[in-house]
Amino acid sequence: MADKKSRDEAVVVIGLGRFGGALAAELVGRDIEVLGVDRDAKNVQEFSGRLTHVVCADSTDPDALTQLGVAEFGRAVVGIGTDIEASILTTSILADLGVPDIWAKAISLQHSRILERVGAHHVVQPEHDMGERVAHLVTGRMLDYVEVDDNYALVKTKAPRWADGRTLGELGIRKKYGVTVVGIKQPGGRFTYATSDTVVNSGDTLLVAGETDKTERFAEET
């Protein structure tokens, strides 16, 4: 690490399985310096040359992480999957080392709670989150769905036929449904910021934000 700025922006990814490996590769693709750590030599070999640095080490060993200079990194991601004990121990060590921004993968709600207790600042449950997202898409008329906070979602859906040729101001969608149309895209075009003067046509795609149940209700109207 050349200077403090580069250290703060760099990320250490521990666990180069399917989740951690994909995340590390994506970060490198965004020109972010990444140190990949895994105790499986096969995973290390697979990512050798693809990441900025790759090391075979036991992340449950505090001395190993100290020698790697992990404490100098601004962010860390614990992508360890099925080995819950290793996931928890690694997260705890990172917290003890004072890493300021720790992300950790959990495979269950209980695992998630433990990770938060031992020092993770952010916990993600990829399988759960993806399952929830797909469930919304399968059971509704949404084109895409992202829950950005508890009970608050961003939904992509087709414009309802009854909105054809009318402005958002005339439609009164926020008053009627309690959601906000934040973007609109015509067929073959790109999303643009939506205002009260924006005209909606049948076939347009809308980007709608609001409480989860309200966005679902609006999507059902399309």
CATH number of the domain where residue 62 is located = 3.40.50.720
Query: Which of 157, 159, 144, 172 shows the shortest CA–CA distance to 203?
Result: 159
Give the contacts of 61 (CB within 8 A, at least 6 positions apart).
none
The predicted structure's pLDDT at residue 97? 96
Q: What is the dihedral of CA 34, 91, 107, 33, to 10 degrees?
A: -10
- Residue the block writes with tokens 């205002």: 195
Say whether both 155 and 90 belong to one domain: no
pLDDT score, position 105: 93
Task: Please give the share of the chain, as a percent, with pLDDT higher than 90.
Answer: 73
Q: Which of 25-34, 83-92, 129-138, 185-194 has the lowest mean pLDDT?
A: 129-138
Between CA 15 and CA 66 the distance in angstroms is 17
Lowest-pLDDT range of 49-58, 84-93, 172-181, 213-222:
213-222
How far CA 222 is from CA of 83, 141, 175, in Å, comes to: 44, 7, 17
Is residue 176 scored above 80 in pLDDT? yes
CATH number, domain containing residue 170: 3.30.70.1450
- Check whether residue 62 and residue 115 sit in a common domain: yes
pLDDT score at 221 = 78
Q: CA-to-CA distance for 93 and 73, rounded, in angstroms? A: 14
Beta strand 152-158 pairing with 144-149 = antiparallel
What number is the average pLDDT over the span 106-134?
88
Domain extent at residue 34: 1-124
- The residue from 59, 90, 124 where one domain ends is 124
Q: Do residues 68 and 113 both lie within one domain? A: yes
Rounded to two decimals, the pTM is 0.69
Residue 94 parent element (H or E): helix 84-96
59 touches 37 (CB < 8 A): yes
The reported pLDDT for the residue numbered 6 is 55
Q: What's the pLDDT at 2?
A: 45
How much is the average pLDDT of 209-222? 88
Report the alpha-carbon distance of residue 86 to residue 17 in Å, rounded.
14
The residue out of 66, 91, 124 marking a domain boundary is 124
User: 98 and 81 in one domain?
Assistant: yes
- The arithmetic mean of pLDDT across residues 73-90, rounded, is 94
Res 7: pLDDT: 60
pLDDT digits (tens, 9 = 90+) for 2-11: 444 456 689 9
Q: Report residue 1's pLDDT band, with 50, 70 and 90 as the boundaries.
A: very low
Neighbours of 145 (CB within 10 A): 21
Same domain, 12 and 118: yes
Check residue 5 and give its pLDDT. 46
Is the per-residue pLDDT at 139 higher than 80?
no
Give the integer Cα–Cα distance in Å for 197 and 170. Answer: 9
Task: Spell out where the chain has E strands.
Answer: 11-14, 34-38, 53-56, 75-78, 101-105, 122-124, 144-149, 152-158, 166-167, 180-185, 192-193, 199-200, 205-211
Domain count across the chain: 2
Same-domain check for residues 99 and 161: no
Domain boundary among 124, 155, 182: 124
Residue 202, pLDDT score: 85
> Which residues share a beta bridge with 149?
152
144 and 70 inside one domain: no
What does the pLDDT average to over 58-73?
96
